[in-house]
Amino acid sequence: MSVIPDERRLELSKDEIDRYSRHLILPDVGLQGQERLKGARVLVVGTGGLGAPAALYLAAAGVGTIGLADYDFVEASNLQRQIIHGTKDIDRPKTASAKDRIRDLNPCVRVVTHNVRLSGSNALEILGAYDAVVDGTDNFPARYLINDACVLLGIPDVYGSIFQFEGQAGVFYARQGPCLRCLFPAPPPPGLVPSCGEGGVMGVLPGIIGSIQACETVKLIVGGGDGLIGRICAVDAWSMRFSQMRFDKDPACPVCGAEPEIRELIDYELFCGLKQAEEAPAESITARELKARMDRGEPLQIIDIREPHERSMFAFPQAKAVPFGQLVRRMEEFDPAVDAVFICKIGQRSIYAIRTLREAGYEGRMLNLLDGSNAWARDVDTALHQY
């Protein structure tokens, strides 16, 4: 069944018939399917690695209205994977760059930009204007926000996620199957899962996952095909293996279950454990201050919580390597009488590391290296590369 009713189908122009001819001769799409695509309104949240290919393929397919929600600007490091942007777009708003590229690809498409950060105060209003949402975000608060808003609005959430060489795609649609919370009732502890900016991502991987998201969205609009509702498609791009996992609707799900507890949007940063870390920030030390203390020979414990592949970029001087996931069980290796300085890439996971150790009962003084190893490469040893 299509998410676009018959009365929302829009007649095609002669130019559009020419443009979409390869769709029109497909018996499972045909004229009716293409008219549904023209009448459809799809919101792509995030115009980065996932949103870039998804938005391009939806535009090429003839989705009549494409919304772009993003508040970020194009950076050079984006261009390794975010193919909707170009070198000339560096420092431009991503929504502006993406809009220009979509209009160049298909001037028949209407593009609506939302240069805002989605939150509990605006998500229902923004998402409520669309028939489906493509989730191209890279953080847990946004994913749970989008899921809950889609459940409350009764529209599908086309999900994707990527990390290093692995990706996942699926469709959360509470009217026909389970939602995100049925599969993941709670997010992982803050800091346990590095972001792509910290852990890296193979540049072509989001192209694979974003294309799957676009394909699933087209099927939802046209109506037909064996979609990913109640399934997660997983891809290991390094070994080029595809697998899938089926999951069922949870009758006790707090948002889509038989007796839902969540009837309005909540504070998702608090739900994901991020606000507590912000409200009680760790004591920090700058890279230059740390270098000065090291030069004076002051007793210090420098704990590098980066993963092995990150440390291969450069080894932090005088540091003890203890990956984040090993901190609590190796806590006895630390001396509470000596200041401990925690190192990660950008100074965010190290805040969560300090919080985790405090909750585990560590009583020594702990310092967070402000802006992480990148600050050391920027302010102390410029021969090293920021990554």
Active-site positions read 196, 344
The structure tokens listed for 249 are 């609707």
Q: What is the DSSP letter of 283?
A: P
Q: Give the H or E element holding residue 303.
A: strand 301-304
For residues 58 and 217, is the Cβ–Cβ distance under 8 A?
A: yes
> Using alpha carbons only, what angle is made at residue 267 by residues 233 and 181, rounded to the nearest 5 degrees?
30
Distance from C-alpha of 254 to C-alpha of 261, rounded to nearest angstrom: 5
**3-state DSSP assignment of residue 226:** coil
Distance CA 85, CA 90 (A): 8
| Interacting residues of 356 by C-beta distance below 8 A, sequence separation 6+ | 189, 191, 327, 328
Whether residue 51 contacts residue 101, with contact meaning beta carbons closer than 8 Å, is answered with no
d(CA 31, CA 93): 36
- Grouping H, G, I as helix, E, B as strand and the rest as coil, residue 110 is strand
* Nearest to 229, CA basis, from 149, 295, 150, 303: 150
